[in-house]
Structures are given as structure tokens and as C-alpha cells.
Amino acid sequence: MTDAAGDRPGSHVDLSELDDIPGTTVFTAQRSRKGYFLNQFCMSLMKPENRARFKAGERAYLDEWPMNEAQKQAVLARDYSAAIAEGGNIYFLAKLFLSDGKTFQDAAQSMTGMSSEDYAAMMLAGGRSPEGWRSIKEGR
Amino acid sequence: MARITAGVTTSHVPAIGAAWDHGKDGDDYWRPVFEGYEWTRRWIGEERPDVVVLVYNDHASAFSLELIPTFAIGCAEHFEPADEGFGPRPVPPVIGHPDLAWHMAQSIILDEFDLTIVNKMDVDHGLTIPLSLMFGRPDTWPVRVVPISVNVIQFPPPTGNRCYMLGESIRRAVESYPEDLNVHIWGTGGMSHQLQGKRAGLINREFDEAFLDKLTADPGALRKMPHIEYLREAGSEGIEMVMWLVMRGALGPEAKELHRHYHVPASNTALGHIVLQASA
């Protein structure tokens, strides 16, 4: 995006900067398009009858959706990092882990590579410091 | 004439709802979270707002990827709690104010904001947890609610400046409604948090406290903050804080801080809550 709009707020957002944040996937148009059916599958779990059908046969239920194999494998493995790499969004994926009886903390922790004990301790100690997590190219 | 007298912001962390619904609000972990709302519950009991204009984001509950309104206004008679994957929260239905909401929709659209009008939508934790935090466990909510939904999930959300301007337009709309109503405006979401990737768990107390300070001291600076700064400093989900600027814009040029509560952690999130008195 250029600065042609002058100093209007937001006009300085360069979409390439969104991929400069370490360990972060911003839900851009491109990712939304890629993850469309993965995310819509997750939405379907808001209905109890769909949850029951999914739990009774996960693979068969997934096969009703035009998702790619990597997306289906990510769901079956509850691999949320892989699901996000395939265009999943955390608020859609929440329908999946909440229907499993898991929490946002369980899901977030699972993507960090930390144990649940270490993650919980980090949060109790004030969370992850932004130092070193702001920019890849600027190393800050 | 209706008037906006106060603004409230609060985080709407799902785990707060779960703790509340399961009676864990007295546990060691949760007590400090809920204690920060005791002042507000007493205050709001005395203020007795008739209507809350409740600015929140739908978390892929009413709006899937099929339809993504940047700004939407709920004009229905009532809104049911959404089933987010484990059944709806056990809270009363949210009672709307269709007459005011339709008036606001007309006023705001003619004021050049292209709002989406919604006549049927379920409301998720983003809207119902703030009600629980302010009003406890009543059989029916003691206020009517005009929901204003803001897209903060699909990039890009509206800019902070646009959110502030919507707030200003909401104020004009409310003030042109003939009935004598005491109206509060709430902004929900935030503060710093990230729920995904290797950076999950990010908390930035310094950023959050500066943001809270600037709501009264320098809202003009917050209006200019670009998305990338929220994302870098406050986490990928911290961008929800643009919704607080809708609240701030609706309070008029001057706002006075009445109460503040900040606590880490509430699950993955820095919980922030502030009560502001509107310009006279």
C-alpha cells in the first residue's frame, strides 16, 4: 500500500509488515480464502446435531466438506498450528476445541511448544514479554 | 431527549464467563478479576441506565465467513445467547430497543456511515460476558441493549479513527432521539492478548496502561495508531481495542475517569476495565 492517502490513520499499514511479526499469523484475505471451508466446517459445530455426527465419525464428516487433505489432517490431529497455516482462524477453530471440552488457554499453549504447566506459570507471572517478539527484520 | 452519560470498557475473555457460570468467581485465581468490578456494580446500580449501546465483536458466531459486516447494528426485539460449541451460556436473552436502534441506524447512515442492519442474530461471549460482569446473575437483564458489532477478525478491521468517528455519530444519533433515556456506551474486548502461534500469551502491560491513560489524556493519539502497532505491541487479538475508541468517540471531547481495573492474567489475556463519565 502506498502513502498516497497522506497521513490518514491506517494508510501506513503495509500488508508485508503483517508477516514480520514473529510467531503470528494475521488473518488476511489470502488466508481467509484458503481457509474458507476449514473455517465453515468449524462453524457447523455450533449445532449440537452436527457435533454429534462429527464425534461419531470425524473423517466421514470432514469428507462432506471440500477441504484439502492437510486441513482435514490438522483437524483430526487437533494440530492448531497446522490448521492456522492452512487458513484456519482461531475464533473459528474455537468451535472445534470448545466442543472437545478444551479451553482457549489449552489451544494457545499447544501452539507455543511449551508445556501446559510452563505456559500457565508464564501467564501467572505476567505473560510473555513483547521484547524480541515485535519484528523479525528489526530483531526487536 | 436521550443522552449518553457514561462509557464503560471491559475485556470479554471466554474463561471469565466459564468461571462465572460454574461459580468459580470466588477462587483464588478468579477473585482478583471479579473484585475489580464491585465498584462498577454499585455505581451502575445507582446510575440505572435505560439502554446500553454495546460495542463488541462477534467471534464467528452470528457472522461466519459468508458475511462479514465491518459495522452492524442489532435492531431486533431480543437476541439469544449463541451456542459457541458447548451449548449457550445460561444467561437471560438480551432485550433490544428496536425503536432506538432503528432511529440510530437511520441517523448514522444519513451521517455517512454505512451500517449493516441486523434483525436476527445470536450474541456470543463478546456481548454477554460484559453484561454478567456489570449486572451479576439477574433473572432478566436490567437494561435494554443496542448491539453494535465490529469486525476485528478478518483483516483489516476498521481503523481506530473510523471507530472514533462512529462513536461521534452514535452520540449525535442518541441525542436526536426524543425520549428521555439514560444511555451508556460500552466498548469491549482487549487488552493485550494473543491466542495463536508461538507468540501466544503475549502481554504488554506498559502498552495497555498507556492506552488506558490516553483514553482521557490524549484520545487524539489513539485515533492515529495504525493496525500494525496494535498487532506488534498488543498481540494479534489485542486489535480488539479499536472498539474501545467507538466508546470513547461517543463520550464527547472531554471524558473523566471514574474507575479503573487492570489484572493479568485472565486465561491468556490482560484484563482491562475502565469507567468514564461523558462530556456534559
Using a CB-CB cut-off of 8 Å, the residues of chain A touching B85 are 45-46, 51, 94-99
Using CB atoms and an 8 Å cut-off, which of residues 43-82 of chain A contact chain B?
43, 45-48, 51, 80-81
CATH of region A26-101, choose from 3.60.110.10, 1.10.490.10, 1.10.700.10, 3.40.50.720:
1.10.700.10
Q: B66, B162, B196, B207: which to substitute to probe chain A, counting the most A Cβ within 10 Å?
A: B196
Per-residue pLDDT tens digits for A42-78? 999 999 999 999 999 999 999 999 999 999 999 999 9
Shortest alpha-carbon distance between residue A75 and chain B (Å): 15
* For testing contact with chain B, the best of A80, A133, A135, A136 (most B CBs within 10 A): A133
Q: Residue B99 has what pLDDT?
A: 98
pLDDT in tens, B237-266: 999 999 999 999 999 999 999 999 999 999
* DSSP designation for B82: P
- Cα torsion angle, B74, B76, B77, B78, sign: negative
Question: What integer pLDDT is reported at residue A3 of this predicted model?
Answer: 43
Instruction: Check: CB of residue B247 under 8 Å from CB of residue B188.
Output: no
- What does each of the 280 residues of chain B score in pLDDT, given as a tens digit? 999 999 999 999 999 999 999 999 999 999 999 999 999 999 999 999 999 999 999 999 999 999 999 999 999 999 999 999 999 999 999 999 999 999 999 999 999 999 999 999 999 999 999 999 999 999 999 999 999 999 999 999 999 999 999 999 999 999 999 999 999 999 999 999 999 999 999 999 999 999 999 999 999 999 999 999 999 999 999 999 999 999 999 999 999 999 999 999 999 999 999 999 999 8
Count Cα atoms within 13 angstroms, Cβ side, for B242.
Answer: 34
Nearest to A113 by CA among B197, B270, B235: B197
Cell reading at B227: 493496525
pLDDT tens column, B15-46:
999 999 999 999 999 999 999 999 999 999 99
Residue A30 at interface with chain B, using a CB cutoff of 8 Å: no
Rounded Cα gap, residues B195 and B237, in angstroms: 7
User: What are the helix (H) ranges across B97-217?
Assistant: 98-110, 125-135, 160-175, 205-217
Whether the Cβ atoms of residue B75 and residue B121 lie closer than 8 Å to each other: no
CB of B101 closer than 8 Å to CB of B183: no
**Three cell numbers at B14?**
471466554
Alpha-carbon torsion (B256, B11, B106, B160), positive or negative: positive
Q: What is the average pLDDT score of chain B?
A: 97
Mutate to test the interface with B, among A28, A111, A118 (most CBs of B within 10 A): A111
pTM of the model: 0.95
Q: Residue B232 has which C-alpha cell?
A: 506488534
List chain A pLDDT tens, one digit each, 140 residues: 444 444 565 555 568 899 999 999 999 999 999 999 999 999 999 999 999 999 999 999 999 999 999 999 999 999 999 999 999 999 999 999 999 999 999 999 999 999 999 999 999 999 999 999 999 999 99
- Are B267 and A109 in contact by the 8 Å Cβ rule? The answer is no
Q: How far apart are CA A40 and CA B244, in angstroms?
A: 29
Q: Residue written as cell 466508546?
A: B247
pLDDT value, residue A75 = 98
Nearest-neighbour CA in chain A from B29: distance (Å): 9
Instruction: List, in order of start, the domains of chain B with CATH numbers.
Output: 13-183+207-256 (3.40.830.10)
Contacts (Cβ under 8 Å, ≥6 apart) of B258: B6, B43, B275, B276, B277
ipTM of the complex: 0.95
Is residue B184 annotated as a catalytic residue, yes or no?
A: no
> What pLDDT score does B271 carry?
97
**Which is the catalytic residue, given B59, B103, B193, B261?**
B193
| B27 touching chain A per CB within 8 A | no
Tell me whether residue A139 is exposed, middle or buried, using C-beta atoms within 10 angstroms of its C-beta: 0 to 12, 13 to 18, 19 or more.
exposed
- CA–CA dist B176, B89 (Å, integer): 35
CB distance from A89 to chain B under 8 Å? yes
Q: What is the pLDDT of residues B83-96, one digit of tens each?
A: 999 999 999 999 99
**In chain A, what are the domain boundaries?**
26-101
In angstroms, what CA-CA distances link A126 with B27, B56, B122? 19, 25, 34
Closest CA relative to residue B126, chosen from B79, B68, B196:
B79
Around Cβ B66, how many Cβ atoms within 10 Å? 8
